[in-house]
Structure 1
Amino acid sequence: MLFGIANVAALTVGCIYALGTFYNERKDLSVLFWKSLPVSDRLSVAAKASVVLAIGPLLSLFLSWVATVVLIVATAQAYGISPVGLAEQASVGHLIIDDVAYIVLNTLWWLPIYAVLFLVSASVRTVPAVWVLGGLAGLYIVEAIGLRTNHITGIIWDRFLHFPGTGFHDAQMKIIATQSDGFDVQHTPTDKIVTGHLDFLALFSMPSLWWGVLLAAVCLVLTVWLRRRAEPI
């Protein structure tokens, strides 16, 4: 639950950053400063992409771990038990490893979203959000009225709303604590959990995941090309 909230927050902040970064540097003329430095456009794009692909996910991971520690300590204090014992019963070590795999999975899943927003930010000369929202609305109208389908828009919304492995952590640990019955932790081993996919190997093997990565690579290459030719707005 806590990790899911952190993930949604990371996606929201990442989208806002990706949508504005290249547009804003052209608008405030800072692109001239960056171009005066001995830094390649490829490296500049990679540095900006690392904010949403590395720094953001790591920060959300850290915050979720801090929240987990606080929750464990608070629960232990409330029921008069050892925090260390609670952590051992809950297999926190395994949960941490799972969280790392989960954050990598979601970063790859959201990579095409960020890459497309980077491309829009580097190409338009007016507010990028208007282009994105207008493009989505136009696509929906054309597809719904002209083609009488919602396949393409469904894929796009699925990328935003469907998180691979959703429910993984909820199924993994259930804490039961009452004043009268004492304290117990029911932990379901990772290999016994079924959440629409069998395991992380299956999740990382999804064709849709890697098609998205391929699309992201194309968008990032185009972003580098546009960044090389960027001029102040």
Structure 2
Amino acid sequence: MNAIVENPIPERPERDVPHQRAAVAAPHSTHVFKLLLKREFWEHKGGFLWAPMVAGAIFLLLSLMGIGVGEMAAKNIPEHATVNVDGGSFKVAGLNLGQITDKMSPDELRELGSGLDIALVMASSWPFIVLAFVVFFYCLGSLYDDRKDRSVLFWKSLPLSDTSTVLSKVASATLVAPTLALIAAIATLFGFMLIISAITMLHGGNPATLLWGPASPLKIIALLALSLPVYAAWALPTVGWLLLCSSWARSKPFLWAIMIPLFAGIFVSWFDLMQAFNLESSWFWKHVVGRLLLSTVPGSDLLYRGENLQLGDDGLEHINQLLSLRTAYGAFALPEMWAGIVAGAAMVFGAIRLRRWRDEG
């Protein structure tokens, strides 16, 4: 009897497959940094995006309420009441803004435009005021909160360096948050222009000649956008100090961040230590305490200009010089700017080093 031989299934011969899966390459460092920025945005979306938007919306709501109160008060003005301006007098009741505009000279229109520009800057400043608080408390809790909930252990288990993690927080505070505040400021600015345009048309005026022509909304937007690098550089000392406290403090980083500079200022003032350098104690409060705690406030660099600002005596020229890129970027001519950048970079480096071993809850 012939033996039955079970033939095994022939093995598939090995051959080169041109579309074999290639080895997965490590992600590029820029891609990792972008993901870290996205993480910071999604974790702090309320402060970065919605807080400036809400601040702008509150300003617009208050403006509408104020205009509504003014319109109601205007209805109670007697019919014979008039207001005198150059070139004639006009009735307050049923005021026709078109009549006033027709009698305004080119110089008066330019002054009107400067006044409108100031109003637009004030309108757009609301999101930036909120930005100062958002950046302050974001930096103060960014590294401390990771240790408090022990999520730092998870992030350290990933192929993420302490340097890239801390620098992503610096970039979020100095670039991402101000950019989102700028978007909210632009929306607030145009919303305010639309409101006053509607009121102008309600009183017989032409918004194109009375508002949009004399004012310079696009110039203000460009100034705000191009001033973001100035803000990022000027805010670096406060950002570095708060990150350093956030990575070092075992508890209550807010008290450590506030009390150390304040007690240092009190100590220096009490014993007149700045006299050894022929300086007043106010110098320490302004250039050390102020720079550590208040540099995230937009426009705070103007307080350090002094005589270097060189503004004109004329009111119109004064406003135009303030609303210029030359004035904004003049901050880079200050020694306080570069000293702050060096000090801020040193404190950021200290925060990176501390994060490598401060992982307790």
TM-score normalized with structure 2 length: 0.53
SS of the aligned residue for 2:300 comes to: coil
Letter in 2 for 1:151: W
Name which one, 1 or 2, has greater alpha-carbon Rg. 2
Shift of 1:137: 3.0
Separation in structure 2 between the aligned mates of residue 53 and residue 103 of structure 1, nearest angstrom: 8
Contact kept, 8 Å, 1:115 with 1:220, in 2: the verdict is yes
2:194 is aligned to 73
1:152 correspondence with 2:284: yes
Separation in structure 2 between the aligned mates of residue 201 and residue 121 of structure 1, nearest angstrom: 31
Structure with larger RCO (C-alpha < 8 A, sep 6+)? 1
* Cα distance change on mapping 1:91 and 1:194 into 2, 3 Å: closer
Separation in structure 2 between the aligned mates of residue 58 and residue 123 of structure 1, nearest angstrom: 29
Separation in structure 2 between the aligned mates of residue 97 and residue 68 of structure 1, nearest angstrom: 13
Q: How does 1:56-205 map to 2 (within 5 A)?
A: 56-80=177-201, 86-147=211-272, 149-159=281-291, 160=294, 163-165=300-302, 192-193=320-321, 199-205=327-333
Contact kept, 8 Å, 1:19 with 1:129, in 2: the verdict is yes
Separation in structure 1 between the aligned mates of residue 259 and residue 216 of structure 2, nearest angstrom: 47
Contact kept, 8 Å, 1:22 with 1:122, in 2: the verdict is yes
Separation in structure 2 between the aligned mates of residue 83 and residue 158 of structure 1, nearest angstrom: 43
Aligned length: 212
Separation in structure 2 between the aligned mates of residue 224 and residue 147 of structure 1, nearest angstrom: 34
Letter in 2 for 1:127: K
Separation in structure 2 between the aligned mates of residue 194 and residue 56 of structure 1, nearest angstrom: 24
Contact kept, 8 Å, 2:174 with 2:231, in 1: the verdict is no
Q: State the percentage of identical aligned residues.
A: 23
Shift of 1:20: 1.0
Unpaired segments ≥5 residues, structure 1: 167-187
Shift of 1:198: 6.3
Shift of 1:215: 0.8
Contact kept, 8 Å, 2:140 with 2:242, in 1: the verdict is yes
Which has the higher mean CA deviation after the structures are superposed, 151-160 or 43-52?
151-160
Which has the higher mean CA deviation after the structures are superposed, 149-158 or 49-58?
149-158
1:174 is aligned to none
